[in-house]
Chains A and B, each alone.
Chain A
Amino acid sequence: MSVKTRFSTLAAAGAFSLLASASAWAEGSLSIYAWADSIAPDAVAKFEKETGIKVTVDAFSSNEDLLTKLQAGSSGYDIVTPSQHFVKIMIDSGLLEDIGASSMPAFQQILPEWQKQWWDPTGDYSVPLAYGNAGFTVNRNLYKGPVDSWKVYFEPSEELKGKIASLAQPDEVIPAAQNYLGIPYCSEDPKEMKRVLDLLQAQKPFVAAYSSDNIENRIGGGEVAMHFWWDGNTMRVRRNDKANVEYAMPKEGLVGWLDSYVVPKGAANLENAKKFINFMAEQENATIEYNYYGHSSPVKVDASKALYNKENAPELFPTAPVKMSQACSPAAQELVTKVWTQLLQ
C-alpha cells in the first residue's frame, strides 16, 4: 500500500507557536482552517474560478488545537470547522461571528435533523459540513475475531499485546470508554471517572501508540491490528488503498461528531466566507465534497452522482447506536484531563 504521510497535521506538534500563519486580509481572499484533507480541492478550485477569490486552506489535527488558536486571538482565518461540542464552547466563549446562518441559502440545504441542534440552537453561527463517528478499525489480516463490542478493544486478548493503537487526545477515546462502561459523557463523578482510568490503564500494556497522525499507515500497513479511528477514514483506506480493514460496530455505541463551517470573530473576509459556505452547500458542490471527504453529508447531495451507498460503504451507515459527544463542563473536563494525565504520566 502507498505510504501516505501527513506532515501537515503534525504542525500541531508545535502548539506553542501560536503565531498566526495566515495573513490574508486583502480583498478577494479567503483563509480556511480545516481538518487535514477535509475540503475537496476540486470544489475549492471551482469556487476560485467562479468568484475570483483566492482561497488558502491550512490543516489542523484536533479541536483542542483549533480552540487554543482562536483563544489566542487574531488567528487570521475566515472559516474554521470545529466539531459540534467545540462549536458550543466557541459560541459560549464569544469566539464566533454571528453570520445569521439560518437566513443564508446554505441553511435550506441542511437536512432537517441537523438544523438548529443543541450546539447552535438559534442557527446563527454554523452550517454543517460533514458528520460521522469515532470507533475502532481492525486489520483483518491480523485480527479475525468479532468486532461487535468495545470489549475487544478496551479489554483485548493476550495476542494483541502491543498491537493496539489509540489517539493522542482524550476527546473521543474517553467518551468511547464511557460508552463501554455505561457511564454518561462528561461525568462529574470522580468515582465513575476512576473506573474509566482503571479501564484505560489496564489497556495500556496492549497499546503500541497513542497517536493521531499517520493512522492509515499504521492500521492499513499492519503496524497495529486495531486502531481507534473514524468511519469515513476507514472506508477511504479500504476503498482507495485496498487495505483489508473493517470498521467495528460496537453495540455499546459509537461516538458521534459533526463538523461545521463557522466564522471566527473579527474575520477579515466575512462576506467571502459566507459566499464559500453557501457555495459548498449547493447540491452539486456538496456532492463533490462528499465524494472527496468520504464522511456522511448533513446537506443534500445528488444521489445519482454520490459515490457511496450502503453496499459499498457500510462504514457510513452504522448499525450500532451513535451517541454525539457533548460539551463538558469545566469540572467534567478537569476529570477527563486527570484521567489522561495519570494514564500518560
Chain B
Amino acid sequence: MNQRPKLPGWPKLSDWNVLGLLPAHLIMLMTLIIPVGIIALVSFSTRGPYGGFDYVFTTAPYKQILFNEGWSGELEFNPQYLIVVARTVILSLATTIICLALSFPVAYFISLQKTSAKMLLIYLVTLPFWVSMIVRVYSWIIILGNDGVIAKALRALGINENMGSLLFTDTAMLIGLVYSYIPLMILPVFASIEKLDPALVEASHDLYGSRLTTLRRVILPLCRPGMAAGAILVFVPCLGAVLEPVLLGGGKTMMMGNLIQLQFGAARNWPLGAAISIVLMCAVMVFLLWRGVQAMRKEGREASA
C-alpha cells in the first residue's frame, strides 16, 4: 500500500481549533447525528399497535423488507419492497443520465456567451429555486394535463386532435424529476467547462483531432469532475423524491419516498418506515463512498505521476 492520498483542503487534526469549530460540531450533532441515530433506533424497535413504537429490540422490520406473510399465512420471500427500491434506483439513474445529456450542451452554450449574457443565463437557471418545489411540480400538471398547454398547442396546430392526457404516466414523472433537478447538474458542469483551457481544444484541432475526437478525448475527460459532482447532486435527492410520483405519476407506483411515507401514515408501521429509510441512506452512502474512493484513487494516480 502506498501512502494514503491526502484530500485537498483537509486540515490536520492538530490545526483544529476545537473551541472555534464547536458550533459547527454541535450543529452536526444536533441536526445530523442525533436524528439519524433516532431513525436507526426506531428501525430496531417494536411497532406500536396504532403507529408509534416501543423500545423493545427487534430485527423484524429489516426481515420484513424481504419476507412477508403470504395470503395463506406462511412466511415467504416477497420482493415487493425490492421492486420499489429497484424502480427508485432505475428512475434516479435515468433522471441523472437525461440531466447529464441535456445539461452539457446547455452549459457549453452558456460558457460561450459574453460575460453579461453568461451572468443572466446562469441567473435564469437558478431562478426556479426561488419558487417552492411544490408549485414548480404543480405547474407541470397544468402543462401536461387534459386541455393543458401541450394538448391545446397540438390541437391548435391540428397535429393531434384527440390525444389522451400526458399526465399520470411514468413519462410525466420522469419529466418532473428531470425538471426539478437539472439546475443542480447545469451549475457544476458549467463550472468545469468554464475552467476548460481553450488552448487544449485548439491543440487537439491542430493535431488533426476531429470535432468528435476533441469532445471525446479532451473536453469530456476535463469536465468529468463537474459531471460527477452534478450526477451526485441529481441522483441522491432523486432517490428520496416524493412529490413527482404523487403529483405527476398519479401515485400509481411507489418510489422509496412514498413507501416510507406510507409506513409512517396509513400502514402505522414506523419501525419498517425507519428501516427502509436506513436502507435508502445506506444506498446513498455506498454510492458516495464509491465515488469518493474513485476520486481518491485518481488523485493518488495524479500525485504519483
Question: B84–A345 contact, CB under 8 A?
Answer: yes
If A169-B266, A214-B141 touch, does A330 touch B134 (CB 8 Å cutoff)?
Answer: no
- Checking A64, A93, A221 against B147 with a beta-carbon cut-off of 8 angstroms, the contacting residue is A221
For window 218-267 of B, CB contacts with A under 8 Å fall at 242-243, 246-247, 250-254, 258-262, 264-267
The answer to whether B16 has its CB under 8 Å from any CB of chain A is no
If A168-B246, A208-B168 touch, does A223 touch B266 (CB 8 Å cutoff)?
Answer: no
Determine the distance from Cα of A332 to Cα of B268 in the docked complex, in whole angstroms.
Answer: 12
Question: A190–B83 contact, CB under 8 A?
Answer: no
Question: B266–A93 contact, CB under 8 A?
Answer: no
Determine the distance from Cα of A194 to Cα of B264 in the docked complex, in whole angstroms.
Answer: 23
Closest residue to A171 on the B side, CB-wise?
A: B266
Question: A13–B262 contact, CB under 8 A?
Answer: no
Chain A residues within 8 Å of B68, by CB: 338
Give per-residue flags for B48-81: 1 if the beta carbon is below 8 A from chain A beta carbons, else 0: 1111100000000000000010011100000011
Q: Which of A65-73, A110-118, A297-305 makes up part of the contact surface?
A: A65-73
The answer to whether B176 has its CB under 8 Å from any CB of chain A is no
Question: B165–A169 contact, CB under 8 A?
Answer: no
Question: B83–A13 contact, CB under 8 A?
Answer: no
Determine the distance from Cα of A210 to Cα of B168 in the docked complex, in whole angstroms.
Answer: 9
The answer to whether B192 has its CB under 8 Å from any CB of chain A is no
The answer to whether B146 has its CB under 8 Å from any CB of chain A is yes
The answer to whether A15 has its CB under 8 Å from any CB of chain B is yes
Question: A15–B138 contact, CB under 8 A?
Answer: no
If A13-B134, A16-B260, A68-B51 touch, does A345 touch B83 (CB 8 Å cutoff)?
Answer: yes
- Checking B50, B72, B146, B262 against A190 with a beta-carbon cut-off of 8 angstroms, the contacting residue is B72
For window 214-230 of A, CB contacts with B under 8 Å fall at 214, 221-223
Determine the distance from Cα of A336 to Cα of B243 in the docked complex, in whole angstroms.
Answer: 23
Chain A residues within 8 Å of B51, by CB: 67-68, 71
The answer to whether A23 has its CB under 8 Å from any CB of chain B is no
Closest-CB distance, B25 to chain A (whole angstroms): 22
Chain B residues within 8 Å of A344, by CB: 251-254, 258, 262
Determine the distance from Cα of A7 to Cα of B252 in the docked complex, in whole angstroms.
Answer: 21
The total of interchain contacts (Cβ-Cβ below 8 angstroms) comes to 122
Determine the distance from Cα of A13 to Cα of B260 in the docked complex, in whole angstroms.
Answer: 11
The answer to whether B11 has its CB under 8 Å from any CB of chain A is no
Closest residue to B50 on the A side, CB-wise?
A: A89
The answer to whether B183 has its CB under 8 Å from any CB of chain A is no
If A194-B71, A345-B83 touch, does A13 touch B50 (CB 8 Å cutoff)?
Answer: no
The answer to whether B167 has its CB under 8 Å from any CB of chain A is yes
Question: B254–A92 contact, CB under 8 A?
Answer: no
Give the one of B80, B167, B242, B264 with max A CB within 10 A: B264
Determine the distance from Cα of A210 to Cα of B268 in the docked complex, in whole angstroms.
Answer: 19
Contact residues on B (Cβ < 8 Å of other chain), bracket:
35 or more
The answer to whether A102 has its CB under 8 Å from any CB of chain B is no
The answer to whether B135 has its CB under 8 Å from any CB of chain A is yes
The answer to whether A105 has its CB under 8 Å from any CB of chain B is no
The answer to whether A341 has its CB under 8 Å from any CB of chain B is yes
Chain B: interface secondary structure? loop
Determine the distance from Cα of A261 to Cα of B80 in the docked complex, in whole angstroms.
Answer: 39
Determine the distance from Cα of A89 to Cα of B147 in the docked complex, in whole angstroms.
Answer: 43
Determine the distance from Cα of A92 to Cα of B135 in the docked complex, in whole angstroms.
Answer: 38
Determine the distance from Cα of A16 to Cα of B260 in the docked complex, in whole angstroms.
Answer: 9
Determine the distance from Cα of A336 to Cα of B252 in the docked complex, in whole angstroms.
Answer: 17
The answer to whether A266 has its CB under 8 Å from any CB of chain B is no
The answer to whether B20 has its CB under 8 Å from any CB of chain A is no
Determine the distance from Cα of A13 to Cα of B73 in the docked complex, in whole angstroms.
Answer: 33
Determine the distance from Cα of A336 to Cα of B167 in the docked complex, in whole angstroms.
Answer: 28
Question: A330–B242 contact, CB under 8 A?
Answer: no
Determine the distance from Cα of A344 to Cα of B243 in the docked complex, in whole angstroms.
Answer: 16
Closest residue to A88 on the B side, CB-wise?
A: B50
Question: B264–A15 contact, CB under 8 A?
Answer: yes
Chain A residues within 8 Å of B262, by CB: 337, 340-341, 344
Chain B residues within 8 Å of A93, by CB: 48, 50, 52
If A208-B250, A337-B269 touch, does A190 touch B264 (CB 8 Å cutoff)?
Answer: no
For window 126-176 of B, CB contacts with A under 8 Å fall at 132, 134-135, 138, 141-142, 145-147, 164-165, 167-168
Question: A342–B146 contact, CB under 8 A?
Answer: no
Chain A residues within 8 Å of B71, by CB: 190-191, 193-194
- Checking B80, B145, B242 against A223 with a beta-carbon cut-off of 8 angstroms, the contacting residue is B145
For window 298-332 of A, CB contacts with B under 8 Å fall at 330
For window 166-222 of B, CB contacts with A under 8 Å fall at 167-168
Closest residue to A10 on the B side, CB-wise?
A: B134
If A68-B264, A337-B267, A340-B262 touch, does A211 touch B250 (CB 8 Å cutoff)?
Answer: yes
Closest residue to A197 on the B side, CB-wise?
A: B71
Chain B residues within 8 Å of A190, by CB: 71-73
Question: A170–B266 contact, CB under 8 A?
Answer: yes
- Checking B135, B165, B243, B259 against A162 with a beta-carbon cut-off of 8 angstroms, the contacting residue is B165
Closest residue to B135 on the A side, CB-wise?
A: A7
The answer to whether A98 has its CB under 8 Å from any CB of chain B is no
Question: A213–B135 contact, CB under 8 A?
Answer: no
Determine the distance from Cα of A93 to Cα of B168 in the docked complex, in whole angstroms.
Answer: 38
Pick 7 A–B contacts, CB within 8 A, sort by A: A14-B242, A65-B265, A207-B250, A213-B247, A333-B50, A333-B267, A333-B268
Pairs of residues from A and B, 5 with the lowest C-beta to C-beta distance, nearest first: A209-B250, A64-B265, A210-B251, A337-B267, A345-B80
Chain B contact residues, CB within 8 Å of chain A: 48-52, 68, 71-73, 80-81, 83-84, 132, 134-135, 138, 141-142, 145-147, 164-165, 167-168, 242-243, 246-247, 250-254, 258-262, 264-269
Chain A contact residues, CB within 8 Å of chain B: 3, 5, 7, 10, 13-16, 62, 64-65, 67-68, 71, 89, 92-93, 162, 165, 168-171, 190-191, 193-194, 204, 207-211, 213-214, 221-223, 330, 333, 336-338, 340-342, 344-345
